[in-house]
Amino acid sequence: MENKKSVAIHWFRRDLRLHDNNALYHALQGDNPVLPIFIFDSNILDKLENKKDARVQFIYESLSNIQQQIRKFNSSVLIKIGNPVECWKNILIEYDVKAVYTNHDYEPYALQRDQEIESLLNSNNIPFITFKDQVIFEKSEVVKDDGKPYTVYTPYSRKWRSRLNAEGIPSYDSQLLLKNLVPISIDFPTLEEIGFQKSDLLFPSDHCADDIIQKYADQRDIPGINGTSRLGIHLRFGTISIREMARKGQNLSDSWLNELCWREFYMMILWHFPHVTKGSFKPQYDSIEWRNNETEFQAWCDGKTGYPIVDAGMRELNTTGYMHNRVRMVVASFLTKHLLIDWRWGEAYFASKLLDFDLSANNGGWQWAAGSGCDAAPYFRIFNPYEQTKKFDSDLKYIRKWVPEFQDFSYPQPIVDHKMARERCLETYKRGLGRDL
DNA sequence: TGAAATGTTGGGGCG
DNA sequence: ACGCCCCAACATTTC
């Protein structure tokens, strides 16, 4: 027993960086040398059909990058593969674990997992010490004066901003303390040993030029312009710090800061109203009779609806794992309202394809488009794909890029007539919601 | 973080 | 000069 190394553990999850990392900072300040670990969770990975899933590759490369950096301190990341509880039991056999530090993870599955791990550790008299790191304000920090959660964005954002201005943004200089990592040499697995292979997709940079953020308000809605930060995937996996991003927003662009606020709004909603993962936030929207035509769904997935702006978006998604935000709204409105296909189908398709996929934001966005969400678009707000094109892609730059054949004879006729689909949608929603016709 | 239908206004053509 | 009509252009309402 005495040959076991005594360590504190930092458990990496959605915080795959060494700088400005709250839990890591506190772990490194403790009395024990710190062993960083990561678990490739078979409960999650076994559900991925695509063994070239780029998100697994992204996690792998981020960890690999961390491993390279901490080799300079003669340390290593311990990588485990399997069921988290089983992995932790093994870790407790291999090491004399004095404490476990980790950053809060808020999704329903993560909560349940962390409860199990916490009770396992506590039954071994090991403290499980957790920190806020992936958000500026957590689910219960920005609530109404009566303590209840907001369900409307605007008042939420007002309070979020006022707290931000009042309290400022802390930083945690974990990078400076890396000498307190445990000296240890552990083999780092290959991606293949984890059961995956490299994808063909490219990852966006973890750096966004200030220039883009400064022009964000004017250019963010134009998909033909490179006007968004594309930092979603980095916020998803914590390869950048939300605190550094919020500071950037304060300095450079209010409208960009607003998007960070939306992110936390939907995370807050998912926490307080977890039923949104199963059904509508507003229950009456569960009564809408979706058409759910599988052929039309497939045409939507494949970018073959005959609506150039819709097809361009879906092809961008299928090709790159990314879709411009304005176009996400257009394709979501089209699927739910023009085709009357259950928003959960679209949500699941986005979940399978988006590199920056985040459960709360994706669910919130889809429910917004379907009209079923909190603070949703009214049910009668139906995007006209042609009007959206006129407003946001008037020079057709985006459409030409992704649907080069759209002015040829080979480009298909619209899958549905806009006017008919609009009227059909209004009738179907009214019927489902029990309104007078 | 809409769009379409409907209503209103005012200029210009024309008898 | 005047009334009438047409119809943009804009505003308001409705979905």
pLDDT per residue as tens digits for the range A223-263: 999 999 999 999 999 999 999 999 999 999 999 999 999 99
DSSP strand E in A288-367: where?
none
Amino acid A380 CA to nucleotide B10 C1' distance, rounded Å: 33
Indicate if A256 belongs to the active site. Answer: no
Predicted local confidence at residue A2, as pLDDT: 61
Instruction: Dump the DSSP string for A199-225.
Output: -SPPPPPS---HHHHHTHHHHTT-TTS
Q: What are φ and ψ of residue A80, in 5° steps? A: -120, 150
The predicted-structure confidence for A260-308, as pLDDT tens digits, reads as follows 999 999 999 999 999 999 999 999 999 999 999 999 999 999 999 999 9
Lookup: nucleotide whose C1' is closest to A330 CA:
B1
Indicate if A290 belongs to the active site. Answer: yes
Amino acid A310 CA to nucleotide C6 C1' distance, rounded Å: 38
Q: How confident is the model at residue A436 (pLDDT cuts 50, 70, 90)?
A: low
Indicate if A259 belongs to the active site. Answer: yes
Alpha carbons A228 and A215: distance in angstroms, whole number: 9
Token readout for A113 is 């997992």
pTM > 0.95: yes
% of residues, chain A, pLDDT over 90 = 98
The predicted-structure confidence for A28-47, as pLDDT tens digits, reads as follows 999 999 999 999 999 999 99
Annotate A341-376 with b (16+ C-beta within 10 A) or e (fewer): bbbbbbbebbeebbbbbbbbbbbbbbbbbbbbbbbb
Token readout for A369 is 């488009």
Cβ–Cβ under 8 Å, residues A182 and A33? yes
Options A61, A65, A258, A262, the catalytic residue: A262
* CA A217 vs CA A220, A245, A258: distances in Å: 6, 16, 10
* Pairing, β A78-82 against β A96-103: unpaired
Strand B positions within 7 A of protein Cβ atoms: 1-4
Options A32, A88, A259, A368, the catalytic residue: A259
**Percentages (nearest 5) of helix, strand, coil residues in chain A:** 50, 10, 40
Lookup: nucleotide whose C1' is closest to A388 CA:
B2
Strand C positions within 7 A of protein Cβ atoms: 15
Q: Give me the residues near strand C, CB below 7 A.
A: A 378, 380-381, 426, 430
* Beta carbons within 8 Å of A80's beta carbon, 6+ residues apart: A37, A38, A39, A40, A87, A90, A91
Which amino acid would we find at residue A354? L
* Complete domains list, chain A, with CATH: 6-133 (3.40.50.620), 135-170+209-272 (1.25.40.80), 276-430 (1.10.579.10)
The 3-state DSSP class for residue A229 equals: coil
Which amino acid would we find at residue A186? I
Q: How confident is the model at residue A1 (pLDDT cuts 50, 70, 90)?
A: low
Strand partners, A9: A35, A100
The 3-state DSSP class for residue A381 equals: coil
- Whether pLDDT at A122 is above 90: yes
Options A343, A345, A368, A402, the catalytic residue: A343
Options A107, A290, A293, A384, the catalytic residue: A290
Lookup: nucleotide whose C1' is closest to A426 CA:
C15
Lookup: nucleotide whose C1' is closest to A383 CA:
B2
Alpha carbons A131 and A26: distance in angstroms, whole number: 9
